[in-house]
Amino acid sequence: LSKPIGRQQFVLGKFLGIIWPIAVMFVFLGVIFFVTVSYKVVYDARESAKTPPEWQQCYEEMILIVPGLALALMEAVVLAAISVAISTRVSMIPNLTICAAVYVIGHLAPMIVESSLADKFEIVGFVGLLIAVVFPVLDHFNIYAAVAGGAEVPVDYLGWAFVYCAIYCTIMMLLALLLFEDRDLA
């Protein structure tokens, strides 16, 4: 027997139904990534005719990629929340197009704001700040420079990125509930 569910449960279930396969994919591909990164240490040692590395060296290299995986998962969760909010009003193709645009603008948002503040026209500065407020700043989840430079990502940074992810997802879920509230399901 099926029981009727509320609109809030439907939207939250849709969001969690998207997040679950994303998390499973990240775990599965993350394990494969860990194996390849740990093997890279052994391969590099063989190629440069060094002594075989200890397991601690492989472990240290694997630990360095955990923040990148965590931030990539947070970015995927934010985009999933946006997609759920958009899907309450539009079909799949416009949803994909809008999410792709949000992805591009979200990564370009810091540069847009920086260039708009340097402009002398007030309207350009306003539009730049509006973009920074409305669109997620996905560049917060980007640590390519730190990974390429071999720098460690501080735990505080991961914590603040998680807070940003949680707040943005909460806002998107509230927006999804607001948009879905007056939707006719017949």
How many domains does the chain fold into? 1
With contact defined as beta carbons under 8 Å apart, do 89 and 155 qualify?
A: no
- As a whole number of Å, the CA-based R_g of the chain is 21
Q: Identify whether 53 is part of a domain.
A: yes
pLDDT digits (tens, 9 = 90+) for 28-73: 999 999 999 888 888 888 888 788 888 888 888 888 888 989 999 9
Please tell me the pTM assigned to this model.
0.86
**Structural domain of 154:** 7-89+142-181
Q: Identify whether 148 is part of a domain.
A: yes
* Long-range Cβ pairs for the range 121-125 (8 Å, 24+): none
Q: Identify whether 175 is part of a domain.
A: yes
Which amino acid, one-letter code, is at 184? D
